[in-house]
Amino acid sequence: MDDEFLKNYQQAPRPEFARQLQDKLNGGTNMLKQKTWRHNVMRWSPALIAATLVLALALVIALPPARALAQDFLNLFRVKKFAALTIDPARMKQLDNLDLDTEKLLADDVEILQKPGEPTQAASVQEASERAGFTVAVPSAPSNAAPSQILVQGAGAFVLTADTQKLQELLEIAGIHDAQVPAQLNGAKITVRKPAAVVLTYKLQRAKLTLIQSPSPEVELPQGVELKQLGEIGLRVLGLSQADAHNFAQNVDWSSTFLIPIPANAAEVRQVNVNGAEGLMINASATAQNRRSPYAEGDTLILWANNGMVYALQGSGAATDLLELASSVQ
């Protein structure tokens, strides 16, 4: 069958069209991820802290390697303060484009000790306190408002066994060729414990508020695992240069600071004081392209830790009002 003449109708797509569509697809992915990031941050919960910690440590932690170390956990991470780490959106895009399925990648290395289960509703703050095992704090500012919903999320725990070779491969995939995962970390077991959490939702006239609270999650690391060393590698993955990562790592208290990576163009971040505790205010509406005061109205998240508890207050009203509400939580 002579069908060559039909093949002559084929034509390559215009390079300009091909490039624009590819940019659109990559940009769309990026936008989707940014939306996911924003959604996650805005829906932040202590559970997410643990999960994010694992992801953050995962890049770091999964790295670790093959020899079971002493099982007595001498290093303990507890959240005492939050700090923002501004990262280059281009680097985030690069990481996005890697299409790494971290969950799947680590599936063989994670042992679930306790499943948190699905969040369940509580009829009152008192019931939530009893079920969660701590006294639930409430904001006093919406004085007459009762929470429209109270959810209790059970505690969870898992152990991650570090795999140096896997982490080294991850680093290579991420384009980090000059960082070496410490071989002695292979087989190290990192235990993450996420205590129960309570989520209070308030529906006010002009805004919706969500307050999440939980005792600090804990990460137990075996003797010999240097958080600073792991943190430095994690910073490299996030795009910091070797020198910057080293300097930054030297100045962070890795045993108590929870780092939140934020793309430079996605939000404005500032440190705030919440009842004497150092907190972080993230205003997702104040982008680099639309730079406004962090006190402008928009989606705002305030994170702080106090007396062994971590709190996240998210709302869509004026940021100043939200800060006032956060300060009233007791």
Partner 1 sequence: MSAQKQSLRAAINLTTTNVNVNWNAVYRQELPRVYNYFRYRLGDDALAEDLTSATFEKAWRAREKYKRDLAAFSTWLFAIARNLATDHWRTHRAQVSFDALEKIPAPDSPHDAFARQAEIAQLGALLQQLNEHERELIALKYGAELNNREIAKQLGMSESNVGTTLHRIVIKLRERWDSTIADE
Restricted to residues 214-243, the positions that interact with partner 1 (CB under 8 A) are none
CB of 133 to partner 1, least distance (A): 37
Position 71 contacts partner 1 (CB under 8 A): no
Strands (E), 54-164: 73-78, 81-87, 110-114, 120-121, 149-153, 156-161
Give dist(CA 63, CA 259) in Å, integer. Answer: 19
Rg (CA), the chain: 22
Structure tokens at 150: 């109270």
Q: Of residues 24-63, which lie at the interface with partner 1 (CB under 8 A)?
A: 24-26, 28-29, 32
CB nearer to partner 1: give 157 or 174. 174
Q: By CB under 8 A, how many residues form the interface with partner 1?
A: 35
10 lines the binding site for partner 1 (CB under 8 A): yes
CA-CA-CA-CA torsion sign (315, 319, 320, 324): positive
Residue 109 to residue 25: CA distance in whole angstroms? 33
- Region binding partner 1 by CB under 8 A among candidate stretches 7-15, 121-129, 232-240, 319-327: 7-15
Closest contact distance (angstroms) between CB of 245 and partner 1 is 25
Distances (CA, A) of 19 to 25, 30, 96: 10, 16, 18
- Name the segment binding partner 1 (CB under 8 A); options: 95-103, 116-124, 140-148, 303-311: 95-103
| Position among 72, 101, 118, 178 found at the interface with partner 1 (CB under 8 A) | 101
Nearer to partner 1, 105 or 207 (CB): 105
Token output for 253: 């208290």
Minimal distance, residue 55 CB to partner 1, in Å:
15
Helix axes 227-237, 164-173, angle to 10 degrees: 30
Which residues of this protein are in contact with partner 1, per CB under 8 A?
Answer: 1-3, 5-14, 17-18, 21-22, 24-26, 28-29, 32, 97-101, 104-105, 107-108, 166, 169, 173
